[in-house]
């Protein structure tokens, strides 16, 4: 097993590189037919990682289309790149997907498929006495950037339990910082807990002695919620229906392969981190993190609408309400015409 310092260095190194939006394939292609994909270097995005690393994406797309991949650290970065027309499809959380849809001109960004369900937890620092929601008052809690999936879930949880963050006049101090910074504060004992995605939750638990108070899916009625989605620039999708249909077929096949081959998936994931980013995680961390996520192409429609309600109640979707009509984009399998809902 890797030491704590190696785990910390590896994750920080991964994030530093991913923030730069590294192109993992060759430079900008001049080929007329290409598909540009964005995703993150974490276990929740294992579908595109496996699909690219084992060659299944390229096989299904065909040699007439060039695939270019970019790795980002956050959903907003990917959304900005979609707006700038520098990528065509992206794997992001429900927060960025919803905001991208609402903020894009004529709702040009839509959800094509699901990619993962669950995979987030609340981890308590070993020196902090948090055993239930009633213990959150006066505590310092961290979550990734404001408005992201875990931040919305944390703030909704506080509201459901009669609590408020300090900036809203309450007693819970919420830090919105990057996952590597959350790790650092956890090491120092400067926070009492953190609401984080995998593999960070498992790292805080297994490497730093944190206590997993709950898996987020335990708070959802059906015990599952969309945590990673595949979205696309609809202008590209409509101009390249065959490419997208072939890609979605590969996406679905990769889901099945991952669920049937967890050990091989872990090997591919760690090889990806090592070969492209120079570091890897311990086998234990990857195995546990992967077991805490449901890899699925089901976008969990109900959870998307529920998440939007939570984000809107927190004031994250603007002052004038929102409309998610048409956020999901489907292909009619019996024709080349699209079906939207």
Q: How far apart are CA 34 and CA 210, in angstroms?
A: 44
Beta strands in 208-325 (DSSP E): 211-215, 226-233, 293-295
Over residues 193-224, the pLDDT tens digits come to 999 999 999 999 999 999 999 999 999 988 99
Mean pLDDT of the chain: 87
Look at residue 7 in the predicted model and tell me its pLDDT. Answer: 38
- What's the average model confidence in pLDDT over 39-46? 93
CB 230 within 8 Å of CB 27: no
pLDDT > 60? residue 3? no
Give start and end residues of each alpha helix (H) in 70-135: 75-83, 94-103
- What's the average model confidence in pLDDT over 309-327? 90
Look at residue 336 in the predicted model and tell me its pLDDT. Answer: 37
- Choose the weakest-confidence range: 86-90, 106-110, 117-121, 138-142: 106-110
Over residues 61-107, the pLDDT tens digits come to 887 899 999 998 778 888 999 999 999 999 999 999 999 999 887 78
Q: How far apart are CA 1 and CA 288, in angstroms?
A: 13
Look at residue 331 in the predicted model and tell me its pLDDT. Answer: 65
Q: How far apart are CA 272 and CA 275, in angstroms?
A: 5
- Choose the weakest-confidence range: 37-41, 176-180, 317-321: 317-321
Look at residue 11 in the predicted model and tell me its pLDDT. Answer: 40
Q: How far apart are CA 16 and CA 138, in angstroms?
A: 32
- What's the average model confidence in pLDDT over 138-159? 93
Domains, the chain, in order of start with CATH, read 4-118+224-340 (3.40.190.10), 120-219 (3.40.190.10)
- What's the average model confidence in pLDDT over 42-60? 94
- What's the average model confidence in pLDDT over 125-134? 95
């Amino acid at each position: 097993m890797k030491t704590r310092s190696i785990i910390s260095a590896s994750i920080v190194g991964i994030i530093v590189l991913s923030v730069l939006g590294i192109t993992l394939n060759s430079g900008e292609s001049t080929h007329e037919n290409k598909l540009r994909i964005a995703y993150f270097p974490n276990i929740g995005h294992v579908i595109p990682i496996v699909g690219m690393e084992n060659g299944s994406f390229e096989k299904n797309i065909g040699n007439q289309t060039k695939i270019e991949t970019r790795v980002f650290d956050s959903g907003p970065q990917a959304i900005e790149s979609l707006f700038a027309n520098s990528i065509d499809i992206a794997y992001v959380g429900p927060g960025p997907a919803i905001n991208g849809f609402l903020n894009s001109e004529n709702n040009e960004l839509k959800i094509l498929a699901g990619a993962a369900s669950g995979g987030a937890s609340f981890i308590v620092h070993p020196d902090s006495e948090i055993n239930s929601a009633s213990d959150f008052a006066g505590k310092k809690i961290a979550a990734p950037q404001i408005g992201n999936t875990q931040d919305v879930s944390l703030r909704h949880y506080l509201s459901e339990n009669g609590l408020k963050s300090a900036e809203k006049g309450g007693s819970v101090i919420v830090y919105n910082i990057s996952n590597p910074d959350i790790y650092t504060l956890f090491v120092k004992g400067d926070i009492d807990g953190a609401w984080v995605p995998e593999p960070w939750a498992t790292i805080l638990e297994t490497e730093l002695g944190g206590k997993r108070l709950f898996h987020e899916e335990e708070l959802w009625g059906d015990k599952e919620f969309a945590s990673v989605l595949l979205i696309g620039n609809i202008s590209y999708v409509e101009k390249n229906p065959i490419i997208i249909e072939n890609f979605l077929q590969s996406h679905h096949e990769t889901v099945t392969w991952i669920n049937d081959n967890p050990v091989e998936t872990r090997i591919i994931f760690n090889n990806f981190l090592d070969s492209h980013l120079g570091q890897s995680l311990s086998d234990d961390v990857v195995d546990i993190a992967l077991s805490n996520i449901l890899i699925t192409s089901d976008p969990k429609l109900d959870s998307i609408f529920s998440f939007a309600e939570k984000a809107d109640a927190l004031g994250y979707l603007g002052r004038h309400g929102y409309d998610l009509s048409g956020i999901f984009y489907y292909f009619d399998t019996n024709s080349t015409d699209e079906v939207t809902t």
